[in-house]
Structure 1
């Protein structure tokens, strides 16, 4: 069984005026990311929207000193970007489409994601979203450590750091044994 994890494809990470945006390169993957997500939804596979959620007054959270406030809970910055938003909204009440709030880079850290995947006998995860070298990377490392097979859809991931993006793609393949499509 397989699942799609759509990581942080939100307004703050993709829109031109997003708080921590990938900008144009993040926008360029929208069509491929939405098309792949639609395929997974229509096939009835488990689809997870793993979305960063921050409280800027959580003075203990390390990201608050590393990055400007972004994906703040209760703001439109956490909205899914572009045509991913209406696709999700049209299917959000379906049991195989799941919104996952996360506080850390990895979608597995401090969440019930591993339990939900194992309940469904999922052994392979497909990763999409931003940023390739941060949240996608940390999710992939945790997936590897938990024994999942990993597929990275190269045309569905991006970063605001081109060098980090390229490095992460090599790392997925050469260190985690991920399939790059």
Structure 2
């Protein structure tokens, strides 16, 4: 069984308070198309979305990044066409708040995947070298097989993005593939 985890593809991370910018805008259509494909094939789809509280002095990211993905703000909404995919396919997609880089940290993600017999996960979203990376490391440590669609991940740090793609392959044994040449080419 397979699952798709869409990580942090929100307004704040694409063009808002902590923007990846152009590289994230460029993958918008691919992120939406992959999500539709997984829904159409009845695979589990999870929107793992960063959640922060306004003026939280205890969260470790407070000193690292400007405020972003604050509860009940427009910056936390899904970006672009992905928002419409979520609306159109909401019966096939689960929204999951996360408060750390990894989608596994402090959430019921592992339990949900194991309950459904899921052994293979695919990762897309932002940032390749932060939240996607930390989710992949945790998935590896928990024994999941990992696919990363390299044409559906992006970062505001180009060298970090490239390093993470290499790390997925060499240290986590992940398949790093292009969706446009694999699942979307069919």
Match in the other structure for 2:182: none
Match in the other structure for 2:53: 55
1:56 CA displacement? 2.7
Match in the other structure for 1:155: 151
Query: Which stretch of structure 1 is more off in the superposition, 50-59 or 79-88?
Result: 50-59
User: Aligned partners of 2:119 and 2:172: how far apart in 1?
Assistant: 15
Runs of 4+ in 1 over 3 A off after TM superposition: none
Q: Which runs of 5+ in 2 are unaligned?
A: 178-186
Q: Secondary structure at the match of 1:165?
A: helix
Deviations 1:79-118 (A, max 9, x none): 00000001101122x1x41000000000000000000000
Match in the other structure for 1:170: 166
Match in the other structure for 2:13: 13
Match in the other structure for 1:34: 32
1:57 CA displacement? 2.4
RMSD of aligned C-alpha atoms?
A: 0.6
User: Aligned partners of 1:178 and 1:7: how far apart in 2?
Assistant: 17
Q: Which runs of 5+ in 1 are unaligned?
A: none
Match in the other structure for 2:128: 132
1:119 aligns with 2:118: no
Corresponding residue pairs, total = 177
Alpha carbons 1:106, 1:138 under 8 Å: kept: yes
Alpha carbons 1:3, 1:122 under 8 Å: kept: yes
User: Aligned partners of 1:2 and 1:115: how far apart in 2?
Assistant: 14
User: Aligned partners of 1:30 and 1:90: how far apart in 2?
Assistant: 16
